[in-house]
Structure 1
């Protein structure tokens, strides 16, 4: 250990020179007080000293000027007894002036030994001179204190008696310095390991302040910055929110043509950490997707079933078992999944896997994305449609995920391998007819906001007809029907005649003669397209997807005479 003693008076330096120090201690001694002590402290930093040792006001001053550990030499009971013995036969009015580190023990000792010494405490060195002048006016002729007090007393015309530090206090300070050095060595070692880990972290990482200035960055971030032009202006609000709320946030981030999953986390009240995980190519996949800002989906309806469903979802969101959301397409399975995600997480990612389209590459992509995520939701669609070997791998992956990754399944039929999962059964729309008005008005309001639809309501008899229909396509079919009715409406309200005509057309198509294979290939193709369009309620995008063609090809075939 290489230490420097900054002694506020020469006598301390002489005592220290006479002491036998441990063999692992190299001690250099400088005699200086206050401002001179600051200069020596700065010099010690430049010359690779490990620790500084000083006393009283000098120690407090250099502690503010240097980043090295500063060991304070305590005023011991022996030191106080020595100075009190020295003034014992002094026939003068005596006061002791100093900082609380001196006066607290001195006052106790004076009371025990019944010494007639006035004890005064100061908090800054600027207080010393006015206090001494006041003591002089009160007839005090001698003052006990540290170097600052004694020097000021002499200039004021009062006899100053210095409290000196004996060898016991100096040896105690050296031992304290050794302990501080040992601790500092461990801290530096740990810091070095953490800094090396930060520098060589396998993903880009940076620490920025609220003004988006980079305070620290690792090697991968430098490589990313060389490839792409990195700007943080688009995520400034997210950074400030993370610092302000002291919570982590996940958001998408794009640099040139490269996409990343970005985690923003609070470092302190002024800075945030950024960790970038590449996701380029994910936007082109239909089997694996990730969403960072999932909007809460309202659970529409006032029926007893809807109230019960809300209660079920709240209970399920508070436990950690996988949840199988079971129901036919269009029964609100995705809305239930979103509700569970929002109830449990607010800023975490929402991942989705389609078992029907999944392959080995899907699992590799999913695993890579899940690796850095500590909490979030994984929603698995149609797992039963996947290859048995892939199902086995998915289940193995799920078993390895942390408890804060919520696992949800969307199934049309029960798929529960063990009792370690919960099931949420969703009723078809025909079994919750009481909620149809609420859904119909909700959809109508959405179309009004999205498309500027001028249709403002549904006549009561028209609503009766909607509630009497069986809705084989559930909520999806109801939504498409309300969309069609709002477009066809000639006034501000959907009339019963419009509903009756549209529903009769639906029933007629549903009971029509099954598709035949007679005629030319072009005629058969036309019948197939018409039937798929009918089943998709006229939605050309969905029909094109089912037929395996793009929408422009479908449009051309529909318009080809």
Structure 2
């Protein structure tokens, strides 16, 4: 099948030359039409609508056509041979001469004129509208012969000047044929590749939309749904977290009010980025949906300059083939981050990570868990009562056969047969006081995080401020450090966090002890515990669920302690 090409010739002599060259070209279906500038644009638009593969033109006409159509446009260049022919001819005419045109012509002309020392002055224009005023001025200055493109030639003739048209020769015409065939073949290969990808998507992704950054739907395909299930694309875009990587899951209502699941992935190309959204009917029950945080993570940043954290990750990497882990360490030691690290390096990001509290596991139907979830992280099971903890272990055993990795976070290891089972890997997460060598990089990392997410100004901390942080024991570990740095960057309006600010924030910690009255602390430990629970209940407006979560105990334990 021949390549269908429209050649828009801006002047008559070129049409004759093209027809002559076409006698030696058999691989293209070439149509020739006359048209300069906007006339040529109209012809090109018509050709695009008729299914032409490529358009060839020259100079300003080619430039305008390229801006107006979506198919490839080849510009026939004025070669050095073409210029040399015209300059040789003009050199024999004893008149004051000038070449006038766009930089695409004048830059090449200058090199030849300077090399051969031909007495021709050069004037560069940026738009067609500059041509007539410039030639009128040149005429007043005694110029008689003007060399240039079609517009320059016609304007010179209109003003009574001698115009010489810079014409493209046979070499340039054949070069344009060759370039048009190469571009057309490349476009054909790309079209075939796109068709193959579309066919592959029909097999692998049944219901999806590809959305550009500005919210345009680039491509969509629906099989399970009769049509696009949502009307407002902004709902999908707004629910994607800023700066997130990998995949995310969200649940929204479709046009009929039914809940649907959307798995979103960011796709980056060399020129832009897109959101790939796969749609399916909701599969998780409402309780699971409310409790679980589900997403696929990019490689989590774990700072490990210290020996303690390096040893921790070394142990993790040795045991990635296992499916059950217990991460134990003090509160605030980023156990969930290490769980994410395990998840990513086991799945290479090809699975979903779910996180929930130990108490909440009892409310989730794990038999109906989303099939894409490959890792479940459960925190605070050591706060459960023995009976509830046994129930939880039973639920976890029921999904062990599904190949899901279970990671449990605990403050202290409990004496139980489950915790010391042969198929469980126990990994100690060091406290911040054990990994002070990591603190400097942590500070930089958190400052960068807040700058990008909160728009804060601070970008560094002074050494004497860092020294204060290194002296502090950090009983709240990494969580406490992050909270302090957040306070610091929100307070600091400049670019550097000073020692004075760090000193002030650390001093506040010493003043933040709970001011219990002596009466509050009277009585047995059970009496004091009951008073604390009553105080928390009061602050939570007597919402037992919120109070239990705040105290890290379950509702039945809270009720029992109040009754006791």
Which TM class, normalised by the smaller chain length?
Answer: 0.5 to 0.7
Task: Tell me if the contact between 1:96 and 1:119 (Cα under 8 Å) persists in the aligned partners.
Answer: yes
Q: C-alpha separation between the residues in 2 aligned to 1:332 and 1:380?
A: 15
State the partner residue of 1:482.
Answer: 532
Task: Tell me if the contact between 1:9 and 1:31 (Cα under 8 Å) persists in the aligned partners.
Answer: yes
SS in 1 for 2:163: strand
State the partner residue of 2:16.
Answer: 14
Task: Tell me if the contact between 2:210 and 2:219 (Cα under 8 Å) persists in the aligned partners.
Answer: yes
SS in 2 for 1:53: strand
Q: C-alpha separation between the residues in 1 aligned to 2:538 and 2:366?
A: 43
State the partner residue of 2:261.
Answer: 260
- The CA RMSD over aligned residues, in Å, is 5.2
Task: Tell me if the contact between 2:251 and 2:282 (Cα under 8 Å) persists in the aligned partners.
Answer: no
1:129 aligns with 2:132: yes
Structure 1 residues 46, 272: CA separation in 2 closer, same or farther (over 3 Å shift)? same
Structure 1 residues 58, 291: CA separation in 2 closer, same or farther (over 3 Å shift)? same
1:458 aligns with 2:516: yes
SS in 2 for 1:87: helix
State the partner residue of 1:446.
Answer: none
1:96 aligns with 2:99: yes
Q: C-alpha separation between the residues in 2 aligned to 1:233 and 1:46?
A: 33
State the partner residue of 1:204.
Answer: 207
Residues 83-115 of structure 1, C-alpha deviations (whole Å, 9 max, x = no match): 112212101001011111111111111111110
- 1:279-428 aligned within 5 A: 279-283=282-286, 290-292=292-294, 321=317, 324-326=325-327, 337-338=335-336, 340=338, 350-351=353-354, 365-370=369-374, 378-379=376-377, 391=400, 394=403, 408-410=407-409, 412=413, 413-414=419-420, 423-424=427-428
The normalised TM-score by structure 1 is 0.61
Could you tell which deviates more after superposition, 384-393 or 153-162? 384-393
Shift of 1:146: 0.9
SS in 2 for 1:325: strand
Could you tell which deviates more after superposition, 213-222 or 11-20? 213-222
Q: C-alpha separation between the residues in 1 aligned to 2:121 and 2:338?
A: 72
Shift of 1:43: 1.6
1:26 to 29, 44, 50: 29
SS in 1 for 2:130: helix
State the partner residue of 2:188.
Answer: 185
- 1:214-225 aligned within 5 A: 216-220=219-223, 222-223=225-226, 225=228
Structure 1 residues 62, 208: CA separation in 2 closer, same or farther (over 3 Å shift)? same
Q: C-alpha separation between the residues in 2 aligned to 1:177 and 1:478?
A: 87
Shift of 1:32: 1.4
Q: C-alpha separation between the residues in 2 aligned to 1:25 and 1:390?
A: 65
State the partner residue of 1:85.
Answer: 88
Residues 311-336 of structure 1, C-alpha deviations (whole Å, 9 max, x = no match): 96899689974593355xxx878995
2:45 to 42, 58, 75: 42
Q: C-alpha separation between the residues in 1 aligned to 2:136 and 2:214?
A: 51
Could you tell which deviates more after superposition, 107-116 or 334-343? 334-343
Task: Tell me if the contact between 1:325 and 1:426 (Cα under 8 Å) persists in the aligned partners.
Answer: no
Give the structure with higher Rg (CA): 1
SS in 2 for 1:23: coil
The normalised TM-score by structure 2 is 0.61
Q: C-alpha separation between the residues in 1 aligned to 2:84 and 2:330?
A: 85
Structure 1 residues 465, 205: CA separation in 2 closer, same or farther (over 3 Å shift)? farther
State the partner residue of 1:452.
Answer: none
Structure 1 residues 112, 262: CA separation in 2 closer, same or farther (over 3 Å shift)? same
- Provide the aligned length of Structure 1 versus Structure 2: 428
